[in-house]
């Protein structure tokens, strides 16, 4: 349960103002059909985070538990710094044409999530926690928790979010997790 809750919280907060959340906003404004967009986000996130989780598990096999905790802690500190750099929305000309809303969302979201901080955090969390299922479920639920309100409520909601405060809070959460993992790795 700890892995699920840490993953859910970390990813939900880190996703605020992230490029994939901005993509969700663009898709919601363009298509105005929240359910196919949310279904595309769900499947793209499951695919992306499963790949990251499997890679994290594989890499985790080569490290001792202490070394692994320190590596995860350092990566969480790096994520804290990365979170302080907000993403920008996609340019207006970058519209998806001639595809269903679901397929357009699935493809665009999967591509945008590749190499994203939430995917890298999933890799690190999967290396740190024994339950791959709990990690993938937590990170996927965190993505949906952050993106569903944006998709459903659209631009009016997103314009009211205190993104700077959210980025600072997310960075603080990643820094705290990083320190906790490093301390655990030294003992």
Rounded Cα–Cα distance for residues 98 and 124 (Å): 37
Rounded Cα–Cα distance for residues 40 and 7 (Å): 21
pLDDT attached to residue 91:
47
What would the pLDDT profile of 161-181 be if each residue is shown by its tens digit? 666 776 677 678 778 878 987
Phi-psi group of 50: left, alpha or beta (phi > 0 → left; psi -120 to 50 → alpha; rest → beta) = alpha
pLDDT attached to residue 98:
37
Rounded Cα–Cα distance for residues 58 and 127 (Å): 8
Provide the residue count of the chain: 187
What rounded mean pLDDT belongs to the chain? 82
**Other Cβ atoms within 10 Å of 116 Cβ, number:** 21
Residues 6+ apart with CB under 8 A from 4: 131, 134, 135, 137, 138, 141
Residue 90 is given by DSSP the state: P
* 27 vs 55, higher pLDDT: 55
* 3 vs 62, higher pLDDT: 3
Q: Give the residue from 43, 33, 177, 41 showing the smallest Cα distance to 109.
A: 41
Rounded Cα–Cα distance for residues 61 and 178 (Å): 20
pLDDT attached to residue 166:
66
Rounded Cα–Cα distance for residues 152 and 21 (Å): 12
**pLDDT tier at 67 (50, 70, 90 boundaries)?**
confident
Q: Which two tokens stand for residue 161?
A: 């979010």
What is the radius of gyration, based on Cα positions, of the chain?
Answer: 16
User: What pTM was estimated for this model as a whole?
Assistant: 0.71
């Amino acid at each position: 349960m700890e892995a699920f809750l840490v993953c859910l919280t970390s990813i939900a907060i880190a996703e605020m103002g992230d490029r994939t959340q901005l993509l969700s906003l663009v898709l919601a404004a363009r298509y105005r059909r929240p359910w196919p967009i949310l279904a595309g986000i769900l499947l793209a996130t499951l695919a992306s985070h499963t790949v990251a989780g499997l890679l994290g598990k594989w890499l985790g096999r080569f490290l001792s538990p202490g070394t692994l905790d320190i590596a995860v802690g350092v990566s969480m500190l790096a994520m804290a710094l990365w979170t302080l750099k907000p993403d920008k929305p996609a340019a207006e000309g970058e519209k998806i044409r001639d595809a269903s809303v679901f397929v357009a969302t699935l493809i665009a979201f999967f591509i945008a999530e590749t190499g994203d901080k939430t995917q890298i955090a999933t890799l690190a969390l999967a290396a740190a926690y024994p339950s791959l299922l709990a990690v993938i479920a937590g990170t996927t639920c965190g993505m949906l928790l952050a993106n569903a309100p944006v998709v459903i409520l659209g631009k009016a909601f997103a314009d009211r979010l205190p993104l700077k405060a959210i980025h600072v809070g997310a960075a603080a959460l990643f820094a705290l997790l990083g320190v906790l993992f490093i301390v655990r790795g030294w003992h």
